Amino acid sequence: METGRRKAETSMMDSKRLMAWLTVAALSTTLVAAPKRTPHSPKASNGEPFRSFRMLDAKLTLLAHQQEALNAAFNPVQVGSRSGGANSGRRTTPFSDMNSTAAGIVLLAGGLERLYQRRHQPFGVQMFRALRIRAEEVQRGVSAAAKAQTRSAAESAAKRLDEGIVSLVVQFQAASGGYGAARCSPGAWTCCEPKRSKDLLQSEQVACMWGCVRTAQTCTGFLGPRIRRP
């Protein structure tokens, strides 16, 4: 029993470390270098999807912290206990917080999905639909973990939830990759060009890379803000 417990704890710690690494990686491509980014100048900062990307960054960071709190709430369960009832009070708040954060991500991704439907840019619709679906999967994972009645069920649900969060972060990176580094000339458009299928990373359903185009018509993916002229 003790060996099994150590293996389960090691698995959860590995998932936490991977989640933390992915979150830091996501932030490194978005927030860290923000003061140097042309797209985030006062004349372009109100454009989508960059505004929503910054909000999603913040929510994914919060979700990672909430996941740590949830894992901490699971750890005190005694070996051999068949019910998590004793810990249900401690677990309620992390579950509630995570569900609220995931719901916020669903709303943001859904808003971008609808935005690109209105703009008649199918690749943008596809990208943000994938992100919304993964956020909804996290919501379902939170619900399943909250309903777990035994230690084994809770650990299994927690593992699936970890995997769902990692998958969500990966898909966010797939949508936002390189947007902070795009330094477009005044008058140019920011554009996320699709990656080829063979270039997709593991767990990426669809992905693109941000760059600059002279005219909106030359963007084969979906458009971001246009950089205003002085």
Q: What is the pLDDT of residues 41-51, one digit of tens each?
A: 334 335 999 99
Asked whether residue 221 is domain-assigned, the answer is no
For 118, the domain range is 2-75+89-181
β partners of residue 211? 191
Contacts of 91 (CB under 8 A, 6+ apart): 70, 73, 74, 84, 146
- Does residue 224 lie in a domain region? no
Domain count of the fold of the chain? 1
At residue 211, φ and ψ (nearest 5 deg) are: -155, -160
**pLDDT tens digits, 1-32:** 444 444 444 444 444 444 443 443 444 434 33
- Per-residue pLDDT reduced to its tens digit, 178-220: 888 888 999 999 999 999 888 888 778 899 999 999 999 999 9
In a domain, 203, yes or no: no
Residues 169, 60 contacting (CB under 8 angstroms) = yes
What's the CATH number where 151 sits?
1.20.120
> Is residue 195, in this structure, part of any structural domain at all?
no
Instruction: Note whether residue 160 is domain-resident.
Output: yes
Of the two residues 2 and 141, the one the predictor is more confident about is 141
Cis peptide leading into residue 35 (ω within 30°): no
